[in-house]
């Protein structure tokens, strides 16, 4: 298997299947395509266009067969490796896990747009300003905090459904956003954030993101200088 991803520092979509596979012990070869630009003739787009008509990361290639879109990749892996128990075993818990993953997949656009993932920086002042000025971002944060609180209570932690699942991989980039933008969280949710950060798969992604040192200007609208 090959997993095509973007820069680890920025690519929240790439982080999800990478962390899922690492944490579950599913072997794969990583192919990183730098976010050089998003124009149709860029290397990033032309390389991906060979694998997927969407020409976006991530793309999973299994024996020449391409699967694109993070949720589709997660479902494919769950079927391909049933012994890994990537979804909860209980039918209702599994349905709820799919529901919250789908909500993450299609929603929270204000959070994505105003607090983009950037693992190497600490921007609590940016986070505080955005949460003060952008009611939609505050609403996204409140919904996620409420969701996580409910799931942690229902399943006893330390992960959203007790043990690690696709849901935790899906929310790992949100964990990074909350951490890097200094979002104030109630104690149980703050503990969940630290538990996710400590997962070997997440810790490995963070460590590799921190050594990239690759500034991509269009992914950092809040910074005026490209100087490193």
Q: What pLDDT shows up at residue 42?
A: 72
Q: What pLDDT shows up at residue 225?
A: 35
Q: Residue 222 and residue 99: Cα distance in Å, rounded?
A: 32
Residue 227 pLDDT greater than 60, yes or no = no
Class level of CATH domain 91-208: mainly alpha
Instruction: Kindly report, residue by residue over 14-44, the tens digit of the pLDDT.
Output: 999 999 999 999 999 999 998 765 555 677 7
User: Which of 22-31, 51-60, 124-133, 199-208 is predicted least confidently?
Assistant: 51-60
Pairing of strands 65-68, 59-62: antiparallel
CA 214 to chain centroid, in Å, comes to 19
Both tokens of residue 166?
Answer: 């696709």
Pairing of strands 65-68, 2-5: unpaired
Instruction: Kindly report, residue by residue over 147-189, the tens digit of the pLDDT.
Output: 999 999 999 999 999 999 999 999 999 999 999 999 999 999 9
Instruction: Kindly report, residue by residue over 96-146, the tens digit of the pLDDT.
Output: 999 999 999 999 999 999 999 999 999 999 999 999 999 999 999 999 999
Rg (CA), the chain: 17
Whether residue 25 contacts residue 34, with contact meaning beta carbons closer than 8 Å, is answered with: no
CATH number for the domain running over 2-84: 3.40.30.10
With residue 142 as reference, give the H or E element that holds it: helix 135-155
Query: Can you give the residue ranges of every domain in the chain?
Result: 2-84, 91-208
Query: Which residues, 6 or more positions from 70, have their beta carbon under 8 angstroms from its beta carbon?
Result: 13, 16, 17, 58, 105, 170
CA 192 to chain centroid, in Å, comes to 15
CA angle 23, 25, 1 (to 5 degrees): 110
**Strands of the 59-62 sheet, one edge to the other:** 29-32, 2-5, 59-62, 65-68
Q: Residue 15 and residue 21: Cα distance in Å, rounded?
A: 10
Q: Are 2-84 and 91-208 equal in CATH topology?
A: no
With residue 119 as reference, give the H or E element that holds it: none
What single DSSP character describes residue 39? S
Both tokens of residue 190?
Answer: 């703050």
Q: What pLDDT shows up at residue 217?
A: 60
């Amino acid at each position: 298997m090959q997993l095509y991803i973007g820069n680890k520092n920025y690519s929240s979509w790439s982080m999800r299947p990478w962390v899922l596979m690492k944490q579950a012990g599913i072997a794969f070869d990583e192919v990183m395509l730098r976010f050089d630009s998003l124009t149709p003739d860029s290397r990033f787009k032309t390389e991906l266009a060979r694998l997927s008509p969407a020409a976006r990361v991530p793309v999973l290639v299994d024996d020449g067969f391409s699967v694109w879109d993070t949720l589709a990749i997660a479902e494919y892996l769950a079927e391909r490796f049933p012994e890994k128990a990537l979804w909860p075993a209980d039918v209702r818990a599994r349905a709820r896990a799919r529901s919250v993953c789908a909500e993450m997949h299609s929603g929270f656009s204000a959070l994505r747009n105003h607090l983009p993932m950037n693992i190497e920086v600490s921007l609590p002042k940016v986070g505080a300003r955005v949460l003060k000025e952008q009611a939609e971002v505050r609403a996204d944060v409140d919904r996620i905090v409420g969701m996580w609180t409910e799931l942690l209570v229902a399943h006893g932690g330390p992960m959203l459904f007790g043990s690690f699942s696709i849901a935790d991989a899906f929310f790992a980039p949100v964990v990074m956003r909350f951490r890097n933008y200094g979002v104030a969280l109630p104690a149980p949710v703050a503990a969940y954030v630290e538990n996710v950060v400590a997962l070997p798969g997440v810790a490995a992604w963070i460590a590799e993101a921190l050594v990239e040192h690759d500034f991509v200007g269009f992914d950092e609208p809040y910074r005026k200088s490209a100087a490193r």
